[in-house]
A and B are shown apart, each in its own frame.
Chain A
Amino acid sequence: MTAKRTMTLNLTDAEMRVLDELSARKDITKTAVLRQALRLYQTIDARVEKGEKLLFENDATKEKAELMLL
């Protein structure tokens, strides 16, 4: 198992509610939600940096919407 380091995280009530809700819905711990968020953010950022776009497609209508990242 890879060694892990501990950090303190300050979240607003709203952020904590979202974290709680995601943790319950995704059946993973709050730490796992944040680790997953970091992975996804890094993956998306790496692809956007290479000039790719992040698109969401509606399965039914096939309508596409681009997510703008800052």
Chain B
Amino acid sequence: MTVDVSKIYLLDVATGASVEAELRDAIEQAQLDDWQTKWRPALLTVLQELARRGVPIDQWPQSWHWDWTQKTTRVQGLLAFRGFSVVALGETQGLAQVDLTKTGREANQRGKPLVYVDYLEAAPWNRPELGAAPRLRGVGSALITAAIALSEDEGFKGRLGLHSLPQADDYYRKIGMTDLGQDVAYQNLRYFEMTSEQARAFFEQEGER
């Protein structure tokens, strides 16, 4: 399989400098190796610290149990699922997996195909909610941008849907997605959707940065 690679830029939070990065339209073995050998130990250190400080488990990073090897193996070879990764400074900075079989729920796009973001995660060292200052900023936006671009490319006109982990609810509201409320059929997570118009607005906003 040929992997499409686009050049993007992230922000180095410490220096304020732009960092060149690759947005790849696949999750390959190198990314899974990074997840196993770099992300997991970094996350484990954070979890140990949270446990030591007696932080209740419901305040831990809510994706702490995600297993990217399992997630990618489960959908290998299936056209309905696609992966994206962001690579910078020689290591994987973010991963996302999307599903192309879902349809919209929002009144204006009910029943119409969209790109559903199954999983999206930035590397532990890029996540402000994990305590330390993030190293790189823009990883999540880059992955959302890739999902919207895929939606356009597939003829879904930028439509996007996802269930958000509570720690990310504000982010999805901030980028203009419609909050369709808690989904009792999906662990009570809030369901968000982006319409074609919201996708256009998102692109315009990203272009201004």
Contact = CB atoms under 8 A, between A and B. Distances in A.
A28 B80 contact: no
Using C-beta atoms within 8 Å of the partner chain, give the interface range for chain B. 10 to 19
B183 interface: no
Interface stretch (B57-65, B106-114, B168-176): B106-114
Interface in A36-61: 36, 38-40, 42-43, 46
A17 interface: no
B80 A3 contact: no
A42 B79 contact: yes
A39 B100 contact: yes
Interface residues of A, number: 18
B157 A39 contact: no
Contact of A43 (B2, B101, B112): B101
Interface in B144-164: 153-157
A26 B2 contact: no
Contacts of A40: 80, 101
A38 B111 CA distance: 18
Main SS of the interface on chain B?
Answer: loop
Given A28-B156, A29-B155, A39 B80 contact: yes
A1 B3 CA distance: 9
Contacts of A1: 4, 153
B22 interface: no
Contacts of B80: 39-40, 42-43
Contacts of B100: 36, 39
Interface string B103-127: 1000001011100000000000000
A3 B112 CA distance: 25
A12 interface: no
B156 A32 contact: yes
B193 interface: no
Interface in B63-81: 78-80
A27 B112 contact: yes
A49 B98 CA distance: 23
Given A2-B2, A2-B25, A39 B79 contact: yes
Interface of A: 1-3, 25-29, 31-32, 35-36, 38-40, 42-43, 46
Which 6 interchain pairs have the tightest Cβ spacing?
Answer: A32-B155, A39-B80, A39-B79, A28-B155, A43-B80, A29-B155
Interface of B: 2, 4, 25, 78-80, 100-101, 103, 109, 111-113, 153-157
Given A42-B80, A43-B80, 17 more contacts: A1-B4, A26-B111, A27-B109, A28-B112, A28-B113, A28-B155, A28-B157, A31-B155, A32-B113, A32-B154, A32-B155, A32-B156, A35-B154, A36-B100, A42-B79, A43-B78, A46-B78
